[in-house]
Structure 1
Amino acid sequence: MTKHTIEDQAATKELLRQLDADTTWLRHRGRAAELDRRLLQGATEDELSEVRVSWRGHVTHLRKEHRLVVVETSPSFWKITGSDEDLASILPPAEGPIDELAGDLDYEDQESGHPAHSTLEPGSYQLRIYETARALSVLATSGLLGSELLKASVGMLIRQASESNHWHNCTHYRSRRAAELIRRHKAINPGSLSTAAKYQAFCRANLRHEHVVPNSVIYRLLKTSEDHSVDAIVRTLSIYCIRATIALDEDVKLSRAGLSSSMPNGFFNESARELFKNPLARYIVTELESELDRRPEGKLWHEVS
């Protein structure tokens, strides 16, 4: 066993922060950050073009400035990869297990009641949750979910399970203080937030996008779970992959309570009935829960008056 060093806590805190930060591990924001995330998981040229038409320039930047290996792993499909040595150390043997994993990826959970892949609307929240659960289930059953080498990648999978390009516009909750700031801006500048892109830009500049349950906590829940079926992971992601748009001072309140990237102790304590496994536990202990409004079903925030 390795011994404690003075850098351990700082390094761990930084890793947890990166799982929940608006910037990627490469310090990119905005569309560059979205390209980082898509390339980490692998994306088609069409998917990359949706983010930025000149995405090839970003690939060049990653190769030249960040010294990453970014390759076209199959026709029109691009991905950030490791070296041959890195891959050999984590992948199962070429025969047998690989075929089994491929079969799992084609799995359609007909008995559990989850809709098959083909019946879910492309780009929908349900599809993102479902496909993320399938990928995480494969990692878990192959013994790779807890791999340190894949920790950042798994964290990004969890993060993107509930996000879209305009992430502020589809948060599950919005605080009333944030809503008031938005209303005042609309009153002064009519039509200024009439589209998803405009709403996103305003919120990014003036408010805080918040993972209600930090991704690192969801990662812990998944790792410690005894059930790694697709059905079980879908339930976990559906309950805990929720996000909120809050005011900057509300974000400061969470930070001062020591809850920027963690849940209160009661979240893991069965005797703390109100907090135990409650996704809003951080907001309850900081008295912010009552300030949250749920996004109306079937609407995006820029459509809400």
Structure 2
Amino acid sequence: MTETSLDGSPYIFGHDYRSSIRLNYQHMLIKKLCDEQLLSPNVHQSIASRSSIRIADIATGTALWLTELSDVFPAHAELHGFDISSNQYPPQEWLPKNVFLHEHDAFKPFAPEYLGSFDVVNLRFFITLLNKENIQPLLSNLITLLKPGGFLQWLDFDPRSAGAIAIDPNLPMPRTQSVVTMIRKAQPDVNLWILHDAEPFEAAGLDTTAYKSIHLRNYLRPVWNHCHIMGMKELARRLSRDTTGGSDKLSPLLQQIKELEAEFAQGASIDAQWFMMIGRMPGAPR
């Protein structure tokens, strides 16, 4: 099953075990960048003492973020994951007893039993599906899940930050540059809907509580490079599966991936920043 946005643009990656490896690897990278914290400290502090806690993870993927969160909160906390495909979910028997996973498209209305019932809605790694036409419908749909006083936490890569860098400024890195160009072109209208004052949340009716830029640390660049290589290989697999004459189109791409690996091995990388945007539903928490 391929996730699509409201304008029909497809999710460019897959849902197989190799995709799961990339997602889990990327999770570990982001967790390091966030000082091992799954929730913003202010959000965590605000909800930790509540007698009932309900948290939703949107596009949960392998559910690793959600299952790790089960170690942070008491057993009475309900942790729900939603994804358009259940192909990457662990077996139910391996999940903590307070983790519940559902198959659901985040762009479509949620079932009545979930509406207005969550203290936190978490969204990560979703930006490749977004544009200025569909971001507000998505946010409007997600905030239907929130209790009064509930939080929407969104962490993602900022494509505007992409740039090719290298240890040696004289290193030729045409493949690294080409990936940067691809990243920047993927959301050409991003400046119209992501601003540092978190305007998208305010337009959706949330009170903005934080917008934080998260910078890539040099010791994590090899991990980030690996994420790019794995992502490119996913694209190659999709090309070979989804097109006729795939092998003819695939060979140049595989060669480009080899060249990208060689540049990375010589000290090239893609400079990057992430952002964490937090909004709060008006009203007193209940």
- The interval holding the TM-score normalised by the smaller chain is under 0.3
Larger Rg: 1
Structure 1 length-normalised TM = 0.21
Q: As a proportion of its length, which structure holds more strand?
A: 2
- TM-score scaled to structure 2, two decimals? 0.22
Flag the structure with more relative contact order, 1 or 2, with Cα contacts below 8 A and sequence separation at least 6: 2
User: Hey, which of these two has a bigger chunk of helix by percent?
Assistant: 1
